[in-house]
Structure 1
């Protein structure tokens, strides 16, 4: 009776396929087929290992450094992209002007792949996005801020925190119908009406063109998106371990045409709908509380996977699409934020080929939050930093404790990024939302249980 040991002696490599191969070989042997016939047939069953490229593909870089810190940042970004361009599914890549290193793929990086969806290329903050609502009546911006602060919720969801709201039935049904989402419907309900921490915000300002007040929100898919990412990565690692075990885990992928790949793609679209509903639901409640009519609104994601007419999957890790039809509800406009003290840009598409049809998603960073706090903030008093960084703005931190790493000084020069958008023809800036103020989560982790425990030790 043919055994696994014998197959290994014949030169076959063990793996997930091995148990089935042994059974097939034994059945063929019982049917009286020769060892040569069995060997020949098993060769058709053995998975062919897809090897990473020895040499990377070229990629475009639109980041123009102007200081030593920016040159250091660029070196880290291009180093990460260099590794990505060796992944066998990758066909093209680009670095945006706001790029900064962040693990497998830089923030501000775009990678196009063939027949493959890489969860690690969009990360846990799936569908991080922007939404704007413009009001008809010119309202007191402080009043808008006060109303928004009462209605929204930033930071972690504690328990089943629904604020009396649930996601629409059609979206809940889509969750239930998808294997990746079916058992996290509760997370979708619990996170509805909430926003994130870190760099996520609710921005109040006015259109430069008309003076009309506007609110802009920035957040992703919260708890359900993070859970989907975790499951997608697990499935991708299982697949890639079989077909391309030498590919780094962070670059693992799902075969887009496989059952799991199609289900994951469908789950991404459902999470997109959840996120859109969450943005606009918050806006609707603010509009209702203000008693002000809505005259315009649109939204766009900048941390997602897009499929273009060429059939490739464009993974944007913090990059704004700048090509027509990037989503079913694209109206030709996108939002590009900078920092709380700078206008949010309203842009139209340019679809520059060398940029893969993308533009920056914001101002980006030149260094990590930790390094910024250590080298730029240091021992300076919080009130002094706040006074300097937020002069003339109404800046509020929802948990009550400022997150100094999110102040304007933590970001790249907005003027520099805006200049590069124009110079490189990455998007057409058609209007601005000038700032009155912003609400952010703040440093809620200061009082987190794990921090207190660590401090106690």
Structure 2
């Protein structure tokens, strides 16, 4: 094989030092391995450097071309554009940690921010707090959406009563155990290719529009129909209808068996969030440290348009995963859903509020426009709620997405024992199918869901409740001990 090119040679050709040069050297190594001579390799690299836009979709040069394009883009205005004081915003709920409010105040000081709100389940996150809602002008904040893009809820409702779980508990138990996958199992050799699930989304042409999405397609194939770690779950529950819901064919007083899932876009969304947060930070180097994770992308920029496309692909992927889980579990249980409800609660939407077009970031917040249905879970042992939105403009048509945490995961692990959790579950008649699930997901690790719901009566109205009966979550021993940002509470 021809001798490798060096950074010194690329400097002489006019290449900038740093990550771009590193990417160029990687591409050069690939070309040299294909027995191209050094002169031809240099010529091809320089062609990319001089006209990077022509190589954005090239499988070898796509990443390098993108970084060259970013280098040519004008930098953002100086940090002085950060507001001295946050724009006014409403807070629902009480007893928030100072960090939660500080994170939303920081977001409300951005020059692009036009409206903000905090939901009653709010607690610290990255960028925006969990439960934070932010409306921006012509811009999107990757970490305002979050790492788990399009984390969402889905509920399938059956004509059968909850008592079916008593009559056919073994069949429903096996359907849940053998047709759900949690965590990053493919890295540990646990995934059998014969069990991988197909979905039309995997053939969507958008996967080929960006080099990053092309790179992520194989991961999407592996992770289709699976759930994540942390607080993601799948459960059988008893639905109790509080008022007529004609669009679902339900009447007040009905009780139905339902299947509820909570998960997001898996490694697809995480990679997209990390890559475009990096780009946003690079474009705004003068932002003060406390604003780094709130770096935004102009929606009219190439990077902004790319993120918007990638975010929607991740959203459709998350929805497809839920569809596959519900189809396979329902089929294994011998059931046919009569109706379903689903909603994102980590996403950015283009909406009109106060006569303005805004990009509304909901990070752990449920869309709650007037008449809109949403699923708001409680805990693994406390009832959750099927709600209808009331269209409160001050909340940007939003509500809580769950119960929320009163303390960090670490603090909960130190305070709660498995025995305490299991006693709580037994008292409420809930079966946890994997008792090695982390104690930081115990009911005691969350706020009281009924109290949270009572703090947002002007945002949503409960129209049904669902009481968990049989629950499956990720195993703590295998997936709950990673260090770093994955342990940030959600």
TM-score greater than 0.5 by the shorter chain? yes
TM-score, length basis structure 1: 0.79
In 1, the alpha carbon distance for the partners of 2:98 and 2:483 equals: 34
1:402 and 1:263, CA in 2 relative to 1: closer, same or farther beyond 3 A?
A: closer
- Matched position secondary structure for 2:185: coil
- Matched position secondary structure for 2:205: helix
- Aligned partners of 2:177 and 2:433 also within 8 Å: no
- Cα deviation for residue 189 of structure 1 reads 0.7
The equivalences for 1:31-180 within 5 A come to 48-49=77-78, 51-64=81-94, 70=95, 73-138=96-161, 139-140=164-165, 142=169, 143-159=171-187, 161=191, 162=193, 163-168=195-200, 171-180=203-212
In 1, the alpha carbon distance for the partners of 2:367 and 2:130 equals: 14
1:322 matches 2:365 = no
In 2, the alpha carbon distance for the partners of 1:447 and 1:129 equals: 20
In 2, the alpha carbon distance for the partners of 1:447 and 1:283 equals: 25
In 2, the alpha carbon distance for the partners of 1:125 and 1:47 equals: 26
RMSD over equivalenced CA pairs, Å: 2.4
- Aligned partners of 2:433 and 2:470 also within 8 Å: no
- Matched position secondary structure for 2:338: strand
- Given candidates 231, 235, 238, the residue that maps to 1:206 is 238
Partner of 1:222: 266
Runs of at least 5 residues in structure 2 that lack an aligned partner in the other structure:
1-73, 242-253, 485-490
Partner of 2:3: none
Partner of 1:197: 229
1:281 and 1:435, CA in 2 relative to 1: closer, same or farther beyond 3 A?
A: same
1:150 and 1:246, CA in 2 relative to 1: closer, same or farther beyond 3 A?
A: closer
The equivalences for 1:268-287 within 5 A come to 268-287=311-330
Partner of 1:254: 297
- Matched position secondary structure for 2:284: helix
- Aligned partners of 2:383 and 2:449 also within 8 Å: no
Give the count of matched residue pairs. 386
Partner of 2:71: none
- Matched position secondary structure for 2:285: helix
1:272 and 1:353, CA in 2 relative to 1: closer, same or farther beyond 3 A?
A: same
Partner of 2:460: 427
- Aligned partners of 2:196 and 2:222 also within 8 Å: no
- Cα deviation for residue 287 of structure 1 reads 1.5
Partner of 1:383: 419
- Given candidates 372, 376, 386, the residue that maps to 1:332 is 372
1:83 and 1:336, CA in 2 relative to 1: closer, same or farther beyond 3 A?
A: same
In 2, the alpha carbon distance for the partners of 1:246 and 1:150 equals: 46
- Aligned partners of 2:145 and 2:348 also within 8 Å: yes
In 1, the alpha carbon distance for the partners of 2:182 and 2:442 equals: 17
1:409 matches 2:444 = yes
- Given candidates 377, 380, 383, the residue that maps to 1:343 is 383
Could you report, residue by residue, the CA deviation over 1:261-297 in whole angstroms, capped at 9, with x for unpaired residues? Answer: 1121111111111111110111011121122221001
- Aligned partners of 2:387 and 2:461 also within 8 Å: yes
1:390 and 1:403, CA in 2 relative to 1: closer, same or farther beyond 3 A?
A: farther
In 2, the alpha carbon distance for the partners of 1:107 and 1:437 equals: 27
In 2, the alpha carbon distance for the partners of 1:46 and 1:387 equals: 57
- Cα deviation for residue 220 of structure 1 reads 0.6
In 1, the alpha carbon distance for the partners of 2:456 and 2:153 equals: 18
- Matched position secondary structure for 1:261: helix
1:448 and 1:105, CA in 2 relative to 1: closer, same or farther beyond 3 A?
A: closer
Partner of 2:477: 444
- Matched position secondary structure for 1:241: coil
- Aligned partners of 1:57 and 1:91 also within 8 Å: yes
- Matched position secondary structure for 1:294: coil
Q: Which moved more, 1:172-181 or 1:430-439?
A: 172-181
1:135 and 1:260, CA in 2 relative to 1: closer, same or farther beyond 3 A?
A: same
1:91 and 1:390, CA in 2 relative to 1: closer, same or farther beyond 3 A?
A: farther
In 1, the alpha carbon distance for the partners of 2:300 and 2:444 equals: 45
- Cα deviation for residue 81 of structure 1 reads 1.6
1:157 and 1:81, CA in 2 relative to 1: closer, same or farther beyond 3 A?
A: same
Runs of at least 5 residues in structure 1 that lack an aligned partner in the other structure:
1-44, 65-69, 325-330, 452-457
- Aligned partners of 2:201 and 2:316 also within 8 Å: no
- Aligned partners of 1:136 and 1:294 also within 8 Å: yes
- Cα deviation for residue 56 of structure 1 reads 1.7
- Aligned partners of 2:376 and 2:401 also within 8 Å: yes
